[in-house]
């Protein structure tokens, strides 16, 4: 089976992890801050906070921005459930903005219309999470301008987008947001096994996320309510979590990030071959916005005939092509339907869901294997 995505592990990665296993620190050692520094330098952000998953990073980002019961968070229905669950963890309420039919990201026209209505109803969101779907950035300049008018904070869910850029600046620079979140799951651009990162240019937000990732505990005497009893002294200042990344995971990230630009180049080469070979087929290939340089985490096609969707999907799977569908719209999940959402609430997301298929896309996808994917797809169509 050719998977839709997979990790690339080489000897340098193995050696990096083995070195940690032979060291004095398996966790809370030097590799985590080293990895954080490399990511912040790459993204051109002032701070980076490593955690054990992007889900944890989203949760911490919401907590650092003081999301709580009575607040609203809006995001895209075309994402993994973590993009909205993070609000529910904080006791807040969730709503969605339908997607743009070209980019499959948040539609900024729908966002603006919804903000006008919500302002009249006194139900404006505290936070909006734009999701850079498949690695292509949302229209962050417009979203940022709306945030200034309507007073919401912005967390970029860039789980797909490390290595991409927007208006020629790295995604993660937080030029138009408060916090950006990355994922290092094995199918993502680089991997730490499991892991995530939050970047920000705000010192207070970074400090809050660092404290909250480790039980809400601080060893900084400047934060304490009394003079320390001794060098062992620490204080719990908030209700935090054990969301720390281990040095084992960070060491893998330190090694992997050296190949990040190479990986992005390889993904673009694979995307170009798909574009060229599929341009005359009854499907839509991914749209590239001129303001964005995609990380190409995913290569998603949309069938022009939705009635053929299941047949094409099954044909590919039956021929050893591990296609997938990203994503089932969050609002049609049973849990969210219990919250009152209906499939008809976001028609563009539902239209996308009935037409989309994610083709194999990962740096080590060999040309002959990609040709097998293409031939099987053309046969299925």
Q: In the chain, pLDDT over 90 holds for what percent of residues? A: 99
Is there a single domain that holds both residue 249 and residue 273? no
Whether 213 and 298 map to the same domain: the answer is no
Residue for token pair 């993660």: 172
Clarify whether residues 253 and 277 are in a common domain: no
Neighbouring C-beta atoms of residue 123, cutoff 10 Å: 12
* The last residue of a domain, from among 258, 275, 301: 258
Q: Domain check: are 107 and 215 in the same one?
A: yes
pLDDT at 305: 94
| Same-domain pairing of 95 and 198 | yes
**Residues 160, 100 share a domain:** yes
Q: Is residue 132 located within the same domain as residue 183? A: yes
Query: Which of 192, 227, 258 is the endpoint of a domain?
Result: 258
Residues 122 and 31 in one domain: yes
**pTM score:** 0.97
When divided into structural domains, the chain yields a total of: 2
Q: What are the pLDDT digits (tens) for 118-169? A: 999 999 999 999 999 999 999 999 999 999 999 999 999 999 999 999 999 9
What does the radius of gyration of the chain's CA atoms come to, in whole angstroms? 21
The angle subtended at Cα 377 by Cα 376 and Cα 381, nearest 5°, is: 120
**Quick one: 137 and 267 in the same domain?**
no
CATH code assigned at 276? 3.90.1150.10
pLDDT in tens, 279-293: 999 999 999 999 999
Q: Tell me: do 206 and 117 sit in the same domain.
A: yes
| Tokens linked to 98 | 């339908």
Nearest CA to 109 out of 325, 305, 348, 271 is that of 348
User: Are 207 and 315 contained in the same domain?
Assistant: no
User: Which residue, 52, 27, 39, is CA-closest to 194?
Assistant: 52
- Domain of 229, CATH number, reads 3.40.640.10
Whole-Å CA distances, 133 to 31, 52, 122, 140, 243: 29, 21, 30, 13, 25
Q: What pLDDT is recorded for position 200?
A: 99
Judge if 249 and 312 occupy the same domain.
Answer: no
What local confidence, expressed as pLDDT, does residue 92 receive?
98
Boundaries of domain holding 227: 2-258
Domain end among 217, 240, 258: 258
């Amino acid at each position: 089976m050719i998977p839709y995505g997979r990790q690339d592990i080489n000897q340098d990665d193995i050696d990096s992890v083995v070195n940690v296993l032979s060291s004095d620190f398996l966790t809370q050692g030097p590799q985590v801050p080293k990895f954080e520094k490399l990511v912040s330098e790459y993204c051109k952000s002032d701070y980076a906070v490593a955690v054990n998953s992007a889900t944890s990073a989203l949760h911490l980002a919401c907590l650092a921005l003081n999301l709580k019961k009575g607040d609203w968070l809006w995001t895209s229905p075309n994402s993994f459930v973590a993009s909205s669950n993070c609000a529910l963890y904080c006791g807040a309420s969730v709503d969605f903005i339908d997607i743009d039919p070209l980019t499959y990201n948040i539609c900024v026209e729908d966002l603006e219309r919804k903000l006008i209505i919500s302002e009249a109803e006194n139900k404006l969101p505290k936070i909006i999470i734009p999701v850079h779907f498949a690695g292509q950035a949302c229209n962050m300049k417009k979203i940022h301008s709306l945030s200034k008018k309507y007073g919401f904070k912005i967390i970029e869910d860039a789980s797909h987008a490390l290595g991409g850029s927007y208006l020629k600046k790295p995604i993660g620079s937080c030029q138009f947001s408060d916090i950006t979140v990355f994922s290092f799951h094995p199918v993502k651009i680089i991997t730490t096994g499991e892991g995530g990162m939050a970047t920000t240019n705000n010192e207070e937000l970074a400090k809050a996320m660092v404290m909250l990732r480790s039980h809400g505990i601080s060893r900084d005497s400047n934060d304490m309510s009394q003079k320390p009893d001794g060098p062992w002294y620490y204080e719990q200042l908030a209700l935090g979590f054990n969301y720390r990344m281990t040095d084992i995971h960070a060491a893998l990230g330190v090694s992997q990030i050296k190949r990040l630009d190479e990986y992005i180049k390889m993904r673009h080469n694979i995307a170009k071959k798909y574009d060229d070979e599929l341009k005359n087929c009854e499907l839509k290939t991914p749209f590239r916005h001129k303001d964005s340089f995609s990380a190409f985490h995913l290569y998603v096609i949309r069938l022009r005939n939705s009635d053929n969707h299941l047949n094409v999907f099954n044909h590919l799977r039956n021929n050893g092509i591990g296609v997938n569908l990203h994503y089932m719209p969050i609002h049609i999940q049973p849990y969210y339907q219990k919250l009152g959402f209906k499939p008809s609430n976001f028609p563009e997301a539902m239209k996308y869901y009935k037409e989309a298929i994610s083709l194999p896309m990962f740096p080590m996808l060999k040309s002959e294997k990609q040709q097998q994917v293409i031939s099987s797809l053309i046969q299925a169509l």
